[in-house]
Amino acid sequence: MMRLFRRPKAAAPVPPESELARRLTDPDYACACCGTVLRASTGVIHPAAPFGWSNPPPPRPDAEFTGSGRELLTENYARHAGDNLIRAYLPIPVKGTDASVFIGVWCSLKTGNHALFRAAQEQGDADRLGDMFSWLYTQLPRLTGPLLTKGIVAPYSKGRRPVYWITEERHPFYAAQQQGLMATEILALYEDFGHGEVVSHLKA
């Protein structure tokens, strides 16, 4: 007898919250379906350019960034609309773990601090600069978050990317940085930024 209808396959069960958190924060976790090592806690969200810069050019090497002149986008620096900017990581603790995820963002520095940071970053001793005032130039949440938010940049040694801390308590991610987010909330943020494929691998 010919079967006219086929029963659809049941959707794969979503792992529990604790398992998603483990996969999200484990740098060695490999996808169960394909074996890809995801390293999903750092830099999944990596905006190409600061907000307001539509159709940015491909980034140039950092060595080409100079202190003044035309608009310029390099791997870790940008000058756009009169602002000097750097890439940073915005850390968010993952609830139920001792680890954090690191969201890639753009943030501004005053012209003098930008030059000091670039020089110190090249020397590998940017940590000696201490915390520096900065404006956040990446919208969080995407498209609906505040356009400019006060915060600080905390540089690190050995050329490592600095971290950004929001200091404006009204910002929706101020509490997230202080108290953390559930793994499912972070995965929703990843999907919002167009990284649904990573989320699918983590849930497989």
Is residue 197 in a domain? no
Is residue 133 in a domain? yes
Q: Could you tell me the residue range of the domain that residue 127 belongs to?
A: 42-53+68-179
What single DSSP character describes residue 9? P
Is residue 82 in a domain? yes
Is residue 3 in a domain? no
Cα separation, 39 vs 178, whole angstroms: 23
Cα separation, 12 vs 32, whole angstroms: 12
Helix (H, G, I), strand (E, B) or coil at 131: coil
Is residue 105 in a domain? yes
Contacts of 44 (CB under 8 A, 6+ apart): 101, 103, 104, 190, 193, 195, 198
pTM: 0.90
pLDDT digits (tens, 9 = 90+) for 19-49: 999 999 999 999 988 999 999 999 999 999 9
Is residue 31 in a domain? no
**Residue 6 pLDDT:** 60
Q: What is the pLDDT along the chain (204 residues), one digit of tens a residue?
A: 445 556 555 556 789 999 999 999 999 999 988 999 999 999 999 999 999 898 999 999 999 998 777 899 999 999 999 999 999 999 999 999 999 999 999 999 999 999 999 999 999 999 999 999 999 999 999 888 888 999 999 999 999 999 999 999 999 999 999 999 999 999 999 999 999 999 999 999
β-partners of residue 74 are 60
Domains: count for the chain? 1
Q: Which H/E stretch holds residue 198?
A: helix 196-203
Is residue 145 in a domain? yes
Is residue 23 in a domain? no
